[in-house]
Amino acid sequence: MAYLFTSESVSEGHPDKVADQISDALIDNFLAFDAESKVACETLVTTGQVILAGEVKSNTYLDVQLIAREVIRKIGYTKSEYMFEADSCGVLSAIHEQSADINQGVDRASKEEQGAGDQGMMFGYATNETENYMPLALDLSHALLIELANLRRENNEIKYLRPDAKSQVTLEYSDDNKPSRIDAIVISTQHDDFAAEAEMLAKIKSDLVSILIPRIKAKYPQYAHLFNDNITYHINPTGKFVIGGPHGDTGLTGRKIIVDTYGGKGAHGGGAFSGKDPSKVDRSAAYATRHIAKNLVAAGLCEEVLVQVSYAIGVAKPTSINVVTYGTSKVNMTDGEISKIVENVFDMRPYFIEQRLKLRNPIYSETAAYGHMGRKPETVTKTFQLPNGAPKTVTVELFTWEKLDYVDKVKAAFGL
């Protein structure tokens, strides 16, 4: 029987994402000048105020106020009427040194025996329903907001957009579990004030349906067939949305973990990513399990897969690795047998995850909006600045966990 499935996304200007981006900018700056930094930092944003808190063990010193303001400016909070503006907001830092009790469980005389930074379970998921092996509803939700942000920055076809926005896509799946059409699209976007509310709502809905949606269809032609004349559009369904961002809703690091991962598909262990260096397996092992899942599906082992790993704090070897193929496996093995082979192909000890995916580099700012998974791997050059110091330029690989560099190893291991 056909069924509906929904995922949502939030823009870079959403208050929770503002917090994530500030936290990850701090991570990048610490790692740029001390690759062995241990950082767990949280950000709170509200009307005219940024509060930073957390624990750090590092040999470098940062101007955290300057870093936070640069992030806010880049997002687009640059006008006083937003009640949260890069140059005028207060920035309070309550960051302190990392607990020695925690650190002793991570650092080892032999780096290979580095312990997990915390206990917990992490999940990676992949499906062949999209080219990037991501759930389609989430992929479309992200795409809508990426293009909406592009329109805002272009300030050409639509001139009234402000940074805060949310999207949601509902898909209809056929009896054979394939997406067949888009049933509903929800977009709520912050905007400048209008003289008349009824005219404002009509204008926004008209612009988004006639300008944004065609851009999505053109940029993502593989999804164009899913659009139809019977889509239900809910555009700013509550009406006026002038007050937004951190002034309209307090933001915190780590409150959008489903947006960050798979939009409700698969599973989630509950740990957030942003603000954590890769010794925290909440982050690094979630990336590693996505890397496994994507390579398993790309190798043709299965059509859909969920990979779980779990750890004890301070212990290098995972307490479990489990693979679930949802009955789509193409090999004559149980999921338990598949799990054992996966465990031999992918070393899931924290140090080896960091090395395999090159995680001790400043690569995290780019993850903090529009999803950590399903993104395009690329090599970029970034520049960082210490207070009263010379700039440092580094070349890094982004989204290494999205690379299909283990497909041949998977095929060899499973005889595909």
Annotation: binding site: 14, 16, 42, 55, 98, 164-166, 240-241, 249, 255-256, 272, 276, 280
Annotated binding site for ATP: 14, 164-166, 240-241, 249, 255-256, 272, 276
Annotated binding site for K(+): 42
**Angle in degrees, CA 68, 73, 79, rounded to 5:** 125
Residue 77 burial (CB count, 10 A):
25
Annotated binding site for L-methionine: 55, 98, 249, 280
Annotated binding site for Mg(2+): 16
Map tokens 């598949």 to a residue.
338
**What are the residues whose beta carbons fall under 8 Å from the beta carbon of 402, sequence distance 6 or more?**
132, 290, 291, 294, 373, 374, 375, 376, 377
Name beta bridge partners: 252. 44
Contact criterion met (CB below 8 Å) for 140 and 216: yes
Task: Give the residue from 318, 316, 312 showing the smallest Cα distance to 124.
Answer: 318
Name beta bridge partners: 308. 123, 322
Helical residues (DSSP H) of 277-387, grouped into ranges: 281-298, 335-345, 350-357
Q: How far apart are CA 244 and CA 259, in angstroms?
A: 19
Q: How far apart are CA 212 and CA 158, in angstroms?
A: 10
Task: Give the residue from 310, 270, 256, 315 showing the smallest Cα distance to 288.
Answer: 310
Q: Is 264 left (phi over 0), alpha (psi -120 to 50) or beta?
A: left
